C-alpha cells in the first residue's frame, strides 16, 4: 500500500476518475466498508494510492481509468437530475441509452426545466465545470407570465437578494411579448437552486417554461429532445485543454444521435421563438457509444 501522504492520489479521487462514483459518494462507500486496497478493507478515505495498488469495490477490481469524456444531453421536462429519487420519479439516468457508461451530470436542471445538460464520466471535470470561476455563461430561454418593462429587470441586472440569498448579476433581454407571456433570454455565471424562477418571482413574473440553450461554449443547437451526443476529443482539447490517447485503429463511422427525431425547435406546445438572425449552433460532437456501467445510486 502506498504512503498515505507522500505519493499517489487520494483514494476517493482515484475512484472518481475510474468512473466508480463522485468523490463525495466514493468517500461514503469507503466509510461503509465497501472499498479495499491490496486486500485490506478501508474505513477512512485518508489514504493515497498509486497504480501499483490493487483497489476493489464490493470485492470487484475497479476498471482501468477511462479517458475523460463529455456529452451533450437534451433533458426533457419531467425528469429528475439525480441517480435516484426518493419519491420514485423518473430520472435522466432512466432515459439514457443502455450503452452509455456511468456518467454524472454537470450541475442540474430542476424537474420542470429542460434543455442542455452536460454529462461526464470524470468527477474532476464535473467539479471544474460547475465552478462559477470558469467564467462560463449559462444561457436560458425563459417564458414567464407578465408584461414587464426594462425597468422590471434592474434588480436582476444589479444582483438581487431573494430570501436572504444574493444572486450574481444576470444578463436579461426581452425578446418579445406573446399575449399574457413574455419571452426572455437570461445569462448567468452560477447555478443555484431554482435561481431564475426565484429571481423572476421576486419581480412579479411567474416562469412557465425554462430551456437552457448553452453552457459556456457548448450549445443545445438542434439536438433532439432526449437525445445525447458525445463531444469530440478535439473540442475537449481546444476548449478545456484535455488530451486523450488516440485510438489504435480508426473508429467506424458512428450512428446518428440517439433520441427522438423531433428537434429542439419543435418542442411540445409550440416552438421556442428565435430572435431575428439567431440560428442555433450545433455543438461539434458525435454520438455516445461503447458499453459501460449504469450510474451508481447516491447513498
Q: What is the rounded distance in angstroms from the CA atom of residue 72 to the CA atom of residue 228? A: 6
Q: Which residues contact 270 (CB under 8 A, 6 or more apart)?
A: none
Residue with cell 445569462: 187
Distance, C-alpha 157 to centroid of its chain:
25
Residues 99 and 291 sit within 8 Å (Cβ to Cβ): yes
Task: Pick the closest to residue 191 from 123, 136, 121 (CA basis).
Answer: 136
Q: Which grid coordinates are listed for 15?
A: 475512484
**Degrees to nearest 5, angle at CA 78 with 77 and 84:** 125
Distances in Å between the Cα of 261 and the Cα atoms of 201, 226, 254 are 34, 9, 17
Distances in Å between the Cα of 297 and the Cα atoms of 12, 86, 104 are 16, 11, 11
Catalytic site residue 110?
Answer: yes
Radius of gyration of the chain (CA): 21
Task: Pick the closest to residue 185 from 147, 222, 142 (CA basis).
Answer: 142
Q: What is the rounded distance in angstroms from the CA atom of residue 128 to the CA atom of residue 107? A: 11
SS3 69: coil
Task: Pick the closest to residue 257 from 223, 291, 283 (CA basis).
Answer: 223
Q: Which member of 85, 94, 110, 222 is catalytic?
A: 110
Q: What backbone torsions phi and psi does residue 234 show, to the nearest 5 degrees?
A: -60, -40
Which residues participate in catalysis according to the annotation? 110
Amino acid at each position: 500500500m502506498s504512503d498515505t501522504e507522500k505519493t499517489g492520489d487520494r483514494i476517493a479521487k482515484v475512484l472518481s476518475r475510474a468512473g466508480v462514483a463522485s468523490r463525495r459518494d466514493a468517500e461514503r462507500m469507503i466509510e461503509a466498508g465497501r472499498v479495499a486496497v491490496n486486500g485490506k478493507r478501508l474505513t477512512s478515505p485518508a489514504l493515497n494510492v498509486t497504480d501499483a495498488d490493487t483497489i476493489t469495490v464490493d470485492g470487484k477490481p475497479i476498471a482501468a481509468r477511462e479517458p475523460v469524456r463529455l456529452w451533450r444531453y437534451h433533458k426533457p421536462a419531467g425528469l429528475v437530475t439525480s441517480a435516484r429519487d426518493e419519491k420514485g420519479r423518473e430520472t435522466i439516468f432512466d432515459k439514457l441509452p443502455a450503452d452509455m457508461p456511468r456518467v454524472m451530470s454537470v450541475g442540474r436542471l430542476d424537474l420542470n426545466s429542460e434543455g442542455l445538460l452536460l454529462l461526464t464520466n470524470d468527477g474532476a471535470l464535473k467539479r471544474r465545470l460547475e465552478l462559477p470561476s470558469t467564467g462560463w455563461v449559462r444561457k436560458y430561454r425563459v417564458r414567464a407570465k407578465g408584461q414587464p418593462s426594462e425597468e422590471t429587470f434592474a434588480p436582476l441586472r444589479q444582483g438581487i437578494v431573494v430570501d436572504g440569498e444574493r444572486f450574481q448579476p444576470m444578463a436579461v433581454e426581452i425578446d418579445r411579448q406573446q399575449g399574457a407571456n413574455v419571452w426572455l433570454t437570461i445569462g448567468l455565471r452560477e447555478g443555484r437552486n431554482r435561481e431564475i424562477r426565484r429571481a423572476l418571482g421576486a419581480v412579479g413574473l411567474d416562469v412557465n417554461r425554462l430551456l437552457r440553450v448553452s453552457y459556456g461554449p457548448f450549445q443545445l443547437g438542434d439536438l433532439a429532445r432526449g437525445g445525447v451526443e458525445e463531444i469530440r476529443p478535439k473540442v475537449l482539447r481546444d476548449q478545456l485543454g484535455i488530451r486523450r490517447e488516440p485510438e489504435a485503429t480508426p473508429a467506424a463511422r458512428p450512428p446518428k444521435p440517439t433520441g427522438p427525431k423531433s428537434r429542439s425547435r419543435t418542442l411540445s406546445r409550440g416552438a421556442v421563438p428565435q430572435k431575428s438572425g439567431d440560428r442555433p449552433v450545433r455543438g461539434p460532437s458525435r454520438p455516445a457509444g461503447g458499453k459501460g456501467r449504469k450510474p451508481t445510486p447516491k447513498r
